[in-house]
């Protein structure tokens, strides 16, 4: 009786206040712990920007130069911080400019909440000014999207948005809010975070019998091999992962998205998988007896030809997304669950072992790769600089402590292959979608996501020219990102393929560059360009020591290729060293 | 294994935009939807999609998992024709004069279990229900007598082995699911998961 009375009293005292939809959006952000928004205003989102004017002490807004830059910055923020990135765009072109970033975030499982303004509800479907059907355009590239036409929905919808974006396999969520809903006054009862949606099960109860089956396979294995992806980072399970491989003594190779989850120098880190990965991990994939895939999705760039991929091996697949299990590679044991939970269970059941002879085989293959490829790439004897030696010099200066944000192409593969990492969440790149132009804006976001860390973006001359307008964002906000352009005066990766597979018919890959140093100067960003070996180390050091943003262009060999390479349509064991 | 007819049954929330989200799962993979029906289900507020496609089982299994992954989808099942009871509804419009004149037509309609829905001076609308072959047969039979209009509905299907969605829904509504809940039942049976 007493209890009911108290309960009643509480309901009566429940405070409501009249606010508008725009304020409700920002209240949700504050409640969710958002600190930075990347965005660009416009007609249909003006009420939200008007409300934002009063929130400047709680929410930082970074005005980007293009909505694509805004969403990539949101991605960079999310990847560097492990939190949800938040992006604003207006209706129509503002919304369509987000599409590339949404697709990128979708395929790379990056948690984002994007808010787009929309025309008044009564104008929907009338071809009103800057009206576009953003919900239908973004359906295939969002984990969830929703159009709000009534402000009273906003608190619950935003709560759902954040919950969906960050739980389970993370992904981008887009909420489209009509202008009338942004302006509409309503009785606000406070913000309640979402913890359950009946149709959405972000993670399952871990089934111990499958973990036990997996452990049994691992304990019987002579040549077990771990391949891991971003799932380890997204699951914040780096420690659990390391404990597992160390106890079981299993060599581990990473996908591009998994890079930095395990430090480069770890004795069981045997390198990179896939098309431009290391020799040993690719060849020995087809030699191991138990393949343990953790938080990765067997992308075609990793597996090469599927019907010749690890056919001899029993496959264990740990993933939080059940639709990934058996999607590309048939598993012997699937363990559906959050690897933060499943890995410790597995570690408990595996026997402590050292597969020294097996691990040595990876080292032997590495020695061969060093001899055939790596030595010449990192310590070239010719006059012309290689991308590899730039990264080697950078490693010497950063000692593996920087966040490296790459764009897409040859420089990306070289950076992933050779950059050293000591800390997780340090490699930020567009893996699944391969979005040129990702690097510069993502680096901006990364700096806000990890303000205490050195952020270096390595970009090719092609990719830089896709989103260089974001230099304006760097200038205006004095963002400390170091921009390292590796200029080979070509769209290098496409040129490499044309050379190797299309008889050197260099069709439209010869791209001219502006004077990047002068360009940077126009944005009040200091910089220099080097092309000689004797200047390289100093130039990198100057860049890193410089207070604030800096642009360094390094002229590298025009027709250098990235090797090793698994040619498309070939098996991983047919990897070419030259 | 050849391509064969599969019926995918999807239990969903009743939300705007979900039809597109589900339809793009098929169109993205260049899979033609033979028929699609949305309707209420045995559970109040829960929608039920019935989708028929012609595909390899492997493809259908992966597709069902991708569909089930969508936030507003509660569950997706797929079944072969042997595992379901299904019907399609067909309507036929023929000239009333024609029927009145030719006794044969009336006999044919009766033989095929057709029932008059509307009888007007100028035309009569008949309906039949059944499998596609059955409704198609009547089209062929009526053609010589001037079939003015014909339309057939999407397939609706009942899964023979299903105990309905009630228990599953209660399970999903639990904010903190217990150990006994078999959310990841597909790992139990790997291949035959989405069949109940």
User: Looking at CA atoms only, how far is residue A61 from chain B in angstroms?
Assistant: 30
Bigger pLDDT: B168 or B83? B83
Fold for the domain defined by B4-84+157-192: Alpha-Beta Plaits (3.30.70)
Q: What tens digit of pLDDT does each residue of A57-93 get?
A: 999 999 999 999 999 999 999 999 999 999 999 999 9
Q: A236-269 burial, b for 16+ CB within 10 Å, e for fewer?
A: ebbebbbbbbbebbbbbbbbbbbbbbbbbeeebb
ipTM: 0.90
Per the annotation, the verdict on A490 as an active-site residue is: no
Per-residue pLDDT reduced to its tens digit, A409-419: 999 999 999 99
Ordered structural domains, chain A, with CATH:
15-188 (3.40.50.970), 208-361 (3.40.50.1220), 385-559 (3.40.50.970)
Shortest distance, CA A264 to any CA of chain B (angstroms): 34
Chain segment B1-36, per-residue pLDDT in tens: 799 999 999 999 998 889 999 999 999 999 999 999
Interface of A with B (CB under 8 A): 135-136, 139-140, 143-147, 164, 195-201, 204-205, 207, 210, 321-323, 325-327, 334, 336
Residue of higher predicted confidence among B184 and A537: A537
Q: Is the pLDDT of residue A558 over 60?
A: yes
At residue A223, φ and ψ (nearest 5 deg) are -130, 65
For residue range A196-234, list pLDDT tens digits in order: 999 998 988 888 999 999 999 999 999 999 999 999 999
* Helices and strands (H, E) in chain B, number of each type: 7, 9
- Segment A473-489 shows an average pLDDT of 98
What's the pTM value of the predicted model, to 2 decimals?
A: 0.94
pLDDT at B174 over 50: yes
User: What integer pLDDT is reported at residue B194 of this predicted model?
Assistant: 34
Is A295 a residue whose pLDDT tops 70? yes
Domain definitions of chain B by residue range: 4-84+157-192, 86-152
Confidence of residue B191 (pLDDT cuts 50, 70, 90): very low
What is the reported pLDDT for B185? 54
pLDDT tens sequence across A560-574:
999 999 999 999 999
| Confidence grade of residue B181 (pLDDT, cut at 50, 70, 90) | very low
The percentage of residues in chain B with a pLDDT greater than 70, rounded to a whole number, is 89
CB contact under 8 A, B173 and A198: yes
Are B4-84+157-192 and B86-152 in the same CATH fold? yes
Tokens of A530: 């080097």
* Interchain CB contact of B183 with A (< 8 Å): yes
The percentage of chain A sitting over the pLDDT mark of 70, rounded to a whole number, equals 98
Q: Could you tell me which of A473, A462, A456 has the C-alpha nearest to residue A510?
A: A462
Contact call for B183 and A204, based on CB within 8 A: yes
Q: What is the pLDDT of residue B196?
A: 28
pLDDT of residue B97: 87
Q: How high is the mean pLDDT of chain B?
A: 87
**Mean pLDDT, rounded, for A18-43:** 98
pLDDT digits (tens, 9 = 90+) for A428-439: 999 999 999 999
Question: CB under 8 Å to B28, separation ≥6 — which residues?
Answer: A140
The answer to whether B41 faces chain A, any CB pair under 8 Å, is no
State residue B102's pLDDT score.
76
Tokens of B59: 């493809």
Q: Cα angle vertex A366, ends A365, A370, to 5°?
A: 120
Report the pLDDT averaged over residues B156-169: 91
| pLDDT at site B144 | 86
What backbone torsions phi and psi does residue B155 show, to the nearest 5 degrees? -75, 140
pLDDT at B192: 39
Q: Tens digit of pLDDT for each residue in A244-293?
A: 999 999 999 999 999 999 999 999 999 999 999 999 999 999 999 999 99
A248 near A350, Cβ under 8 Å? yes
pLDDT, tens digit, for every residue of A341-367?
999 999 999 999 999 999 999 999 999
Average pLDDT value over all residues in chain A: 96
pLDDT tops 90 at residue B176: no
Note the pLDDT of residue B109.
81
Whether B162 has a pLDDT exceeding 70, the answer reads: yes
Q: What is the DSSP string of A222-275?
A: SSEEEEE-THHHHTT-HHHHHHHHHHHT--EEE-GGGTTSS-TT-TTEEEE-ST
CB spacing of B169 vs A336 below 8 angstroms: no
Count the neighbouring beta carbons within 10 Å of the beta carbon of residue B20: 15
Range of lowest pLDDT (A312-321, A560-569, B42-51, B104-113): B104-113
Which class does domain B86-152 fall in? Answer: alpha beta
The residue to which tokens 């699937």 are assigned? A334
Answer whether B62 sits within 8 Å of A207, measured CB to CB.
no
Number of residues that make up chain A: 578
Element (H, E) at A61: strand A60-63
User: What pLDDT, on a 0 to 100 scale, did the predictor assign at position B195?
Assistant: 31
Active site residue A160: no
- Which among A135, A145, A321 is the nearest to B69, CB-wise? A321
Q: What is the mean pLDDT of residues A477-498?
A: 98
């Amino acid at each position: 009786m007493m209890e009911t009375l108290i309960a009643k009293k509480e309901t009566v005292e429940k405070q409501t206040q009249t606010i508008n939809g725009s304020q409700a959006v920002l209240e949700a952000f504050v409640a969710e712990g958002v600190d930075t928004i990347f965005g660009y205003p416009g007609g249909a989102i003006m009420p939200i920007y008007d409300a934002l004017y009063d929130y400047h002490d709680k929410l930082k807004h970074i005005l980007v130069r293009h909505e694509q830059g805004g969403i990539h910055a949101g991605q960079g923020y999310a990847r560097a911080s492990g939190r949800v990135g938040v992006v604003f765009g207006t209706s129509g072109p503002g919304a369509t400019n987000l599409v590339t970033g949404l697709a990128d975030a979708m395929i790379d499982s990056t948690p984002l909440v994007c808010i787009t303004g929309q025309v008044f509800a009564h104008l929907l479907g009338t071809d009103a000014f800057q009206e576009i059907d953003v919900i239908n355009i973004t359906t295939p590239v969002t984990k969830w999207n929703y159009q709000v036409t009534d402000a009273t929905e906003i608190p619950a919808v935003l709560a759902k948005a954040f919950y969906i974006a960050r739980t389970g396999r993370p992904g981008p969520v887009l909420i489209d809010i009509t202008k009338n809903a942004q302006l509409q006054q309503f009785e606000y009862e406070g913000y309640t975070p979402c913890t359950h949606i009946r149709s959405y099960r972000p993670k399952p109860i871990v089934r111990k019998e499958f973990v036990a089956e997996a452990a049994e396979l691992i304990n019987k294995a002579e040549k077990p091999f771990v391949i891991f992806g971003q799932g380890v980072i997204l699951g914040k399970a780096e420690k659990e992962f390391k404990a597992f491989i160390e106890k079981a003594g299993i060599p581990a190779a990473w996908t591009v998205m998994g890079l930095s989850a395990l430090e480069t120098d770890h004795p069981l880190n045997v390198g990179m998988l896939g098309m431009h990965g290391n020799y040993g991990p690719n060849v020995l994939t087809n030699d191991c007896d138990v393949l343990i895939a953790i938080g990765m999705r067997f992308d075609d760039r990793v597996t090469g030809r599927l019907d010749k991929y690890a056919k001899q091996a029993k496959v264990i697949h740990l993933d939080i997304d059940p639709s990934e299990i058996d999607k590309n590679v048939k598993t012997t044991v699937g363990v559906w669950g959050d690897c933060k939970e499943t890995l410790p269970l597995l570690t408990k059941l595996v026997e402590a072992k050292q597969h020294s002879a097996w691990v040595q085989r990876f080292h032997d293959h590495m020695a061969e790769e060093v001899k055939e490829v790596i030595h010449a790439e990192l310590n070239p004897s010719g006059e012309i600089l290689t991308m590899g030696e730039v990264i080697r010099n950078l490693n010497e200066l950063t000692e593996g402590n920087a966040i490296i944000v790459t764009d897409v192409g040859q420089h990306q593969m070289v950076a992933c292959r050779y950059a050293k990492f000591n800390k997780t969440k340090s490699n930020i790149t567009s893996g699944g979608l391969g979005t040129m132009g990702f690097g510069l804006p993502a680096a901006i976001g990364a700096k806000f996501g990890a303000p205490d860390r050195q952020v270096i973006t390595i970009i090719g001359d092609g990719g830089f020219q896709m989103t260089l307008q974001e230099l304006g964002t760097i200038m205006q906000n004095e963002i400390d990102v170091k921009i390292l352009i590796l200029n080979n005066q070509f769209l290098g990766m496409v040129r490499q393929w044309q050379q190797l597979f299309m008889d050197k018919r260099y069709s439209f890959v010869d791209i001219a560059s502006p004077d990047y140093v002068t360009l940077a100067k126009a944005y009040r960003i200091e910089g220099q360009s080097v092309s000689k070996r004797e200047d390289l180390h100093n130039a990198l050091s100057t860049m890193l020591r410089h207070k604030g943003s800096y642009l360094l262009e390094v002229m590298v060999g025009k027709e250098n290729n990235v090797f090793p390479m698994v040619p498309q349509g070939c098996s991983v064991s047919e990897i070419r060293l030259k | 294994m050849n391509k064969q007819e599969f019926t995918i049954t999807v239990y969903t929330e009743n939300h705007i935009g979900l039809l597109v989200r589900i339809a793009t799962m098929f169109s993205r993979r260049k899979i033609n939807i033979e028929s699609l029906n949305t309707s209420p289900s045995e559970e109040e507020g829960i929608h039920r999609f019935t989708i028929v496609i012609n595909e390899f089982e492997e493809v259908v299994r992966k597709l069902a998992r991708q569909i089930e992954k969508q936030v507003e989808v509660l569950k997706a099942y797929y079944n072969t024709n042997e595992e379901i009871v299904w019907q399609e509804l067909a309507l036929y419009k023929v000239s009333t004069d024609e029927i009145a004149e030719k006794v044969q037509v009336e006999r044919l309609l009766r033989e095929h279990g057709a029932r008059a829905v509307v009888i007007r001076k100028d035309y009569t609308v008949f309906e039949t229900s059944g499998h596609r072959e059955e409704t198609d047969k009547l089209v062929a039979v009526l053609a010589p007598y001037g079939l003015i209009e014909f339309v057939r509905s999407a397939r609706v299907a009942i899964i023979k082995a299903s105990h309905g969605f009630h228990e599953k829904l209660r399970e999903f509504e639990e904010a903190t699911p217990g150990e006994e809940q078999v959310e990841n039942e597909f790992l139990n049976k790997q291949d035959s998961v989405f069949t109940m």
